[in-house]
């Protein structure tokens, strides 16, 4: 332990701690921009400068090591002048359109300017970093004029996700973080996961907004605007509206959506249960018939594009099941349209998702029929929160409203799809009982739970040991898939989610750091425990759908509606 003084207050910290870490022990806040608690220290914005008393040096608190006997000042006149000058220089390169920026109110640069009470006109002339705006992606918008060159997006893309779609391009005044070779995001190897959006402190990277499509449909009398809501959204929506992380708002969420204008609000937990029926049957079929193993989950569209790009030789390992979003869309435009007497073209199928990659998924040409998409618009948790605020709805006082029938009933197994390990746990709950004919003694399969990057488990079923693996974050997916490619992965089934933590860490959720993930994860399993049904194959609405319309899992009709194929995208690497 070493001892130092910060703003006249003594503090003791472990050797190797930074000045910022020491200041936090005293609850002294030091402003930052390039620093992110879940990334390596970069120390390139210099907003966090502090003064070393004695030699009067200014040093970055995020990277400078605390030393025994050191005395520092965090807001001396010299520090304040330096920080304000740095802020002026940043603002002189940053677009001045805060009033109509998507990140207004959650922008870290805006927050630092307010904290430093920066109200004067900068002394330096405004010179835009670039006027380039990339709107090519269905998921992410890049606005170079709002970039502050912090490097957080590149770290998330390259180090956390190992996609390397963003890199530092140019030199000096012309530096940008963008796809290489002059490509747009749509032309690049971007998998649309949105982790760069989560990392960006400003509006340089934002979610492509689809809310106007929905607002317009509300005003068309013949349109039936139908929404499905993903499991994670009922946990992250309240957070996006100002409540603590992990706040569950299922009933209030449905109430708000009805007031906004949605005619029907359904639960994607329903098709998560349906996915388990299809995927579990597919897995058992592969095991019995000598099919391609290990089978890998196909619920996550960012993971699917990652596999199509970097592991096209392993596409046969992917389950052919559509994601729950796309299964829902297919049923809305067929079964539900027939049941209600509506033409498919008169139904606007809207998905409310925690995920930016779902916006890419709904544009895939194979996920539709007769020239129509199964899902017409994807609205993220952030976008739905904006819709609720713009409608003047006070979310915290709303009553609870149930989901609509016939797709309003989901189980705990469908609910846990929102977290890493959830798909695997839900599948094992059903597959075990199908194989053994006996109920699983303990439905909480804790070996596949948690935020660790790679988890393994083995479940005994009638003398056969079914080996499984679970990963979250694409850098961890790469580790597992390299083993599969090398023939060293002794697994039957692998679950992969692109985002750290799974869907509760998705790019369309409120801006996160690792500290918010544990409350979100706890909320997932709290919901699972509280639901009356916790196994997908016991969902009576799913049983009724098979009896009335689909026939049997992996049967002719269900395969035609609920399964798909994949595309080799390795050409994007060239």
The domain spans of the chain are 2-91, 98-207, 212-573
Q: Is the pLDDT of residue 504 over 80?
A: yes
Residue 112: band (very low, low, confident or very high) from pLDDT cuts 50, 70, 90: very high
- Residue 319 bears catalytic tag: yes
Closest residue by Cα to residue 198 from 259, 145, 258, 240: 240
Q: For the segment 255-307, what is each residue's pLDDT rounded down to a tens digit?
A: 999 999 999 999 999 999 999 999 999 999 999 999 999 999 999 999 999 99
Active-site residue (options: 154, 239, 278, 282): 282
Active-site residue (options: 51, 361, 383, 415): 361
Percent of the chain with pLDDT over 90: 92
Over 106-159, what HEC string results?
Answer: CCHHHHHHHHCCCCCCCCCCCCCCCCCEECCCCCEEEEHHHCCCCCHHHHHHHH
- Residue 538 bears catalytic tag: no
Active-site residue (options: 146, 358, 359, 516): 358
Active-site residue (options: 299, 321, 355, 499): 299
Closest residue by Cα to residue 489 from 538, 527, 454, 461: 454
Q: For the chain, what is the mean pLDDT?
A: 96
**What would the CATH number be for the domain defined by 98-207?**
3.30.70.20
**Which has the minimum average pLDDT: 76-90, 108-122, 424-438?**
108-122
Percent of the chain with pLDDT over 70: 100
- Residue 282 bears catalytic tag: yes
Active-site residue (options: 137, 503, 516, 558): 503
- Residue 278 bears catalytic tag: no
- The CATH class, in words, for 2-91 is alpha beta
Per-residue model confidence (pLDDT) at position 464: 87
- Residue 323 bears catalytic tag: no
Per-residue model confidence (pLDDT) at position 481: 98
Residue 403: band (very low, low, confident or very high) from pLDDT cuts 50, 70, 90: very high
Residue 463: band (very low, low, confident or very high) from pLDDT cuts 50, 70, 90: confident
- The CATH class, in words, for 212-573 is alpha beta
Q: For the segment 303-330, what is each residue's pLDDT rounded down to a tens digit?
A: 999 999 999 999 999 999 999 999 999 9
Active-site residue (options: 154, 279, 362, 415): 279
Closest residue by Cα to residue 272 from 243, 230, 310, 331: 230
Active-site residue (options: 14, 67, 366, 530): 366
Q: Is the pLDDT of residue 369 over 90?
A: no
Q: For the segment 221-246, what is each residue's pLDDT rounded down to a tens digit?
A: 999 999 999 999 999 999 999 999 99
- Residue 14 bears catalytic tag: no
Per-residue model confidence (pLDDT) at position 86: 95
- Work out whether strand 295-296 and strand 377-380 pair parallel, antiparallel, or are unpaired: unpaired
**pTM for this entry:** 0.95
175-183: average pLDDT? 93
Residue that has been written with the tokens 């807001």 in this structure = 75
- Residue 279 bears catalytic tag: yes
């Amino acid at each position: 332990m070493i001892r130092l003084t910060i703003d006249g207050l003594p503090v003791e910290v472990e050797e190797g701690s930074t000045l910022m870490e020491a200041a936090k022990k005293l609850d002294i806040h030091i402003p930052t921009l390039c620093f992110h608690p879940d990334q390596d220290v970069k120390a390139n914005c210099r907003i966090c400068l502090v003064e070393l008393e004695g030699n009067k040096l200014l040093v970055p608190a995020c990277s400078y090591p605390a030393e025994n006997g050191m005395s520092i000042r965090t807001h001396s006149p010299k520090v304040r002048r330096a920080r304000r000058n740095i802020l002026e220089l940043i603002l002189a390169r940053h677009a001045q359109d805060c009033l109509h920026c998507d990140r207004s109110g959650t922008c870290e640069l805006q927050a630092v300017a307010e904290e430093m009470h920066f109200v004067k006109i900068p002394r330096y002339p405004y010179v835009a970093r670039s006027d380039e705006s990339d709107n090519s992606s269905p998921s992410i918008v890049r606005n170079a004029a709002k970039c502050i060159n912090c490097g957080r997006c590149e770290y998330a893309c390259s180090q956390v996700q190992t996609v390397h779609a963003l890199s530092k391009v140019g030199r000096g005044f012309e530096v940008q973080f963008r796809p290489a070779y002059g490509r747009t995001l749509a032309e690049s190897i971007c998998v649309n996961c949105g982790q760069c959006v989560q990392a960006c402190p400003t509006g340089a990277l934002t979610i492509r907004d689809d809310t106007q499509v929905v607002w317009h449909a509300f005003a068309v009398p013949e349109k039936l605007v139908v929404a499905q809501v993903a499991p994670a959204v009922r946990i992250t929506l309240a957070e996006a509206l100002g409540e603590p992380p992990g706040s569950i708002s299922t009933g209030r969420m449905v109430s708000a959506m009805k007031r906004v204008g949605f005619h029907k609000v359904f639960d994607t937990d329903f098709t998560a249960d349906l996915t388990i029926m299809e995927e579990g049957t597919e897995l058992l079929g592969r095991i019995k018939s000598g099919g391609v193993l290990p089978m890998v989950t196909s619920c996550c569209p960012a993971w699917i594009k990652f596999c199509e790009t970097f592991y096209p030789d392993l596409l046969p390992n992917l389950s052919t099941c559509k994601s729950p979003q796309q299964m829902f869309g297919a049923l809305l435009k067929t079964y539900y349209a027939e049941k209600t007497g509506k033409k498919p073209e008169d139904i606007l199928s809207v998905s409310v998702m925690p995920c930016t990659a779902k916006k890419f998924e709904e544009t895939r040409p194979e996920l539709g029929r007769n020239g129509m998409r199964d899902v017409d618009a994807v609205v993220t948790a952030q976008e739905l929160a904006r819709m609720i605020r713009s409608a003047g709805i006070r979310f915290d006082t709303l009553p609870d409203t149930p989901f609509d029938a016939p797709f309003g009933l989901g189980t705990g197994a469908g609910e846990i799809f929102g977290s890493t390990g959830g798909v695997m746990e839900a599948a094992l709950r059903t597959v075990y009982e199908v194989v053994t004919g006996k109920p699983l003694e303990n439905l909480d399969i804790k070996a596949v739970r948690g935020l660790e990057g790679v988890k393994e488990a083995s479940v005994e079923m009638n003398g056969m040991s079914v080996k499984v693996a679970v990963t979250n974050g694409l850098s961890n997916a790469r580790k597992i898939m390299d083993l599969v490619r090398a023939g060293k992965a002794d697994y039957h089934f692998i679950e992969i989610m692109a985002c750290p933590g799974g869907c509760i860490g998705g790019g369309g959720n409120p801006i996160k750091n690792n500290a918010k993930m544990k409350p979100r994860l706890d909320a997932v399993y709290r919901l699972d425990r509280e639901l009356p049904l916790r196994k997908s194959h016991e969902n009576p609405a799913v049983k009724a759908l098979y009896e009335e319309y689909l026939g049997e899992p992996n049967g002719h009709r269900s395969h035609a509606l609920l399964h798909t194929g994949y595309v080799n995208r390795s050409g994007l690497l060239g």
